[in-house]
Amino acid sequence: MKKAFVRSYGCQMNAYDAARMADVLGQEGYAATDSVEEADIVVLNTCHIREKAAEKVYSELGRLRVLKGERKLAGQDTRIVVAGCVAQAEGSEILARAPAVDVVVGPQSYHRLPELLARSRETRVVDTEFPVEDKFDHLPARRNKGVSAFLTVQEGCDKFCAFCVVPYTRGAEVSRSVAAVTAEAAKLAEAGVREITLIGQNVNAYHGEGLDGGSAGLADLTRAVAAIPGIGRIRYTTSHPNDMGEDLIRAHAEIPALMPYLHLPVQSGSDRVLQAMNRKHTGEQYRRLIERIRAARPDIALSSDFIVGFPGETEAEFEDTMRLVADIGFQSAFSFKYSPRPGTPAADREDAVPESVKSERLAALQALLDRQRHAYQNAAVGSLTEVLVEKVGRHPGQVAGKTPHLLAVQFEAPASSIGRFVAVRIVEAGANSLFGEAVPRAEAA
Ligand code: 5AD
Ligand code: SF4
């Protein structure tokens, strides 16, 4: 049997796309493999968000060129596909820079992979169109679903933050219909999926066609997915503060399946920097929004994204970010040094912050965020929680899963508990995971 190796970089939507590409190749008779050496097709699903992510692809392509040559000597053909956001952003430039590449395909065209691969036998192929047809209508059924699954409900972004490539690589905001999302979710549930994470670059701007033909928001969509038998948990990511409407905040109070965890990127705590980033909200507005969300769902765990060293950021402005983090308290967060991206407005600015200053600020911010994360984990010790078991654990006899607040937990239980909700008492906080003990239902109640 022919084999396909698919590697994904970047965000959860890329992970979703990578899985769907594996489905397309599966339908074409390619079995998935983890070993790149034995792959007849290699797909790199790339990320363009920061320079580091984008450059990784070229070093990987250098290695693949050697591998492709070795396989050829052994009489084996290897097709190399570059997909994802670098493909979208750089198109045929990739062919010029990386001679081993056969196909370049953007995030909206990967349903055409079989045809593109066939054409690549004659000539090298680039497809970075935003096609009129909807790729979702052309994708085969999903395989390998597991217990917790991502589901793309919205793609693209109309916000144009000054640092960000997403509006260019993923295009304008498009929402799938409630019917399309619930149909995919129902199939996942039938196959044993218990938790669905609704994903979109700007998921809380979701505005798809509702079941009644009108327009539905993310709160409506969440209600529709929560009504599907078997779906016990719903999450969504990633969101913009300005799209946290009252109905969505209320959904956190009213829909039991909507988990008490929210990833809400703020990027900076300085009003001047926020304005330069074109975020269209202030630090104070973000704080007030968090208050309202906490009023609706007091135990909600918060997560965020931060950029340090945006052009022109002063020490005092960076301190505003530190203060915002200290005041709000995050369960987890991602933080990055600003990386200028070609084609974005901020890339043209001449007041870049020196690399060494960015590094210092990042280290200070990450130290604070780490302290908050550990404090959150330690505070969970002694609590009784519900774990959705996802897989076997690192040690024999153990399984691993997540709490409603998205904390990883390991505990002793048979593998047959995978896919079940288990009451667990947290007994210890490790570096990256909590350890617990299953509690009999009667005791937990
Ligand atoms: N430089 C650094 N970080 C960036 N992000 C997006 N663009 C850039 C950039 N040019 C970060 C933001 C965003 C997350 C997905 O990546 O924090 O929320
Ligand atoms: Fe990276 Fe953004 Fe593309 Fe996701 S959408 S892969 S984060 S550039």
Distance 69 CA to ligand 1 centre (A): 36
Phi, psi of 20 (to 5 degrees): -70, -35
Q: Which atom of ligand 2 is nearest to the CA of 201?
A: 5
Å from CA of 11 to ligand 1 middle: 11
Residue to mutate, 48, 164, 238, ligand 1, most ligand atoms under 8 Å from C-beta: 164
How far apart are the C-alpha atoms of 133 and 146, rounded to whole Å? 29
Ligand 2 within 6 A of CB of 166:
yes
Alpha-carbon dihedral angle through residues 316, 322, 323, 325, given to the nearest 10 degrees: 150
In angstroms, the Cα distances linking 216 to 124, 152, 208, 323, 392 are 42, 16, 5, 37, 38
Question: What is the reported pLDDT for 445?
Answer: 59
pLDDT at position 412, please?
A: 98
pLDDT (0 to 100) of residue 132: 82
Three-state DSSP at 52 gives helix
CB of 338 sitting under 6 A from ligand 1: yes
Residue minimizing CA distance to atom 7 of ligand 2: 11
Q: Which atom of ligand 2 is nearest to the CA of 170?
A: 5
If you measure from the C-alpha of residue 53 to the centroid of ligand 1, how many angstroms do you get, rounded to a whole number? 11
Pair of tokens at residue 169: 């690589």
Contact 399, 410 (CB under 8 A): yes
Residue nearest to atom 17 of ligand 1 (CA): 305
Confirm or reject: Cβ of 50 under 6 Å from ligand 1. yes
- Whole-number Å distance between alpha carbons of 106 and 413: 43
Cα(334) to ligand 1 centroid in Å equals: 9
pLDDT given at position 414? 97
pLDDT of residue 145: 75
Atom 1 of ligand 2 has which residue's CA nearest to it?
Answer: 47
Q: Which ligand is nearest to the CA of 50?
A: 1
Check if the beta carbon of residue 241 is closer than 8 Å to that of residue 266: yes
Q: In the beta sheet, which residues pair with residue 384?
A: 425
Which tokens is 216 given?
A: 């539905």
Pocket flag, ligand 2, residue 10 (CB < 6 Å) = yes
Distance 416 CA to ligand 1 centre (A): 40
pLDDT 10s digits, 19-60: 999 999 999 999 999 999 999 999 999 999 999 988 899 999
CA-nearest residue, atom 6 of ligand 1: 164
Contact (Cβ atoms closer than 8 angstroms) between residue 209 and residue 179: yes
Q: Is the CB of 57 under 6 A from ligand 2?
A: no
In short, whether 201's Cβ falls inside 6 Å of ligand 2 is yes
Strand order through the sheet with 301-308: 261-263, 301-308, 332-337
Q: Are 154 and 174 in contact (CB under 8 A)?
A: yes
Kindly state the greatest CA–CA separation across the chain: 67
- Ligand sitting nearest the alpha carbon of 12: 2
Under 8 Å between Cβ of 82 and 57: yes
Angle of helix 315-328 versus helix 355-380 axis, rounded to 10: 10
Low-confidence residues of the chain: pLDDT under 70: 442, 444-445
Write down the pTM of the prediction: 0.95
Q: Give the distance (Å) from ligand 2 centre to CA of residue 49.
A: 5
C-alpha 9: how far from chain center: 10
Closest ligand 2 atom to 14 CA: 6
CA-CA distances (angstroms) from residue 388 to 70, 259, 262, 383?
45, 12, 18, 16
Q: What's the CA gap between 141 and 146, in Å, rounded?
A: 14
Strand 384-392 and strand 421-429: pairing?
Answer: antiparallel
CB 46 within 8 A of CB 54: yes
Distance in Å, CA 336 to ligand 1 centroid: 7
Residue 47 CA to ligand 2 center (angstroms) comes to 5
CA of 65 to the centre of ligand 2 (A): 25
Q: How far is CA 130 from the centre of its chain?
A: 21
Nearest atom in ligand 2 to the alpha carbon of residue 88 is 3
Ligand 2 atom nearest 107 alpha carbon:
3
Radius of gyration of the chain (CA): 23
| 400 CA to centre of own chain | 20
CA–CA gap between residue 48 and residue 87 (Å, rounded): 9
Q: Quick check: helix, strand or coil at residue 131?
A: coil
To the nearest whole number, what is the mean pLDDT of the chain?
Answer: 96
Angstrom distance (rounded) from CA 116 to CA 113: 5
Residue 200 CB–ligand 2 contact under 6 Å:
no
**How remote is the CA of residue 195 from the centroid of ligand 1, in Å?**
27
Ligand 2 atom 6: residue of nearest CA: 47
Q: 3-state DSSP call for residue 412?
A: strand
> Could you tell me the distance, in angstroms and rounded to a whole number, from the CA of residue 207 to the centre of ligand 2?
21
User: Long-range CB contacts (< 8 A, 24+ apart) of 28-31?
Assistant: 28/113, 28/114, 28/117, 29/1, 29/2, 30/1, 30/2, 30/3, 30/4, 31/1, 31/2, 31/3, 31/4
CA 364 to chain centroid: 25
Closest ligand by atom to 10 CA:
2
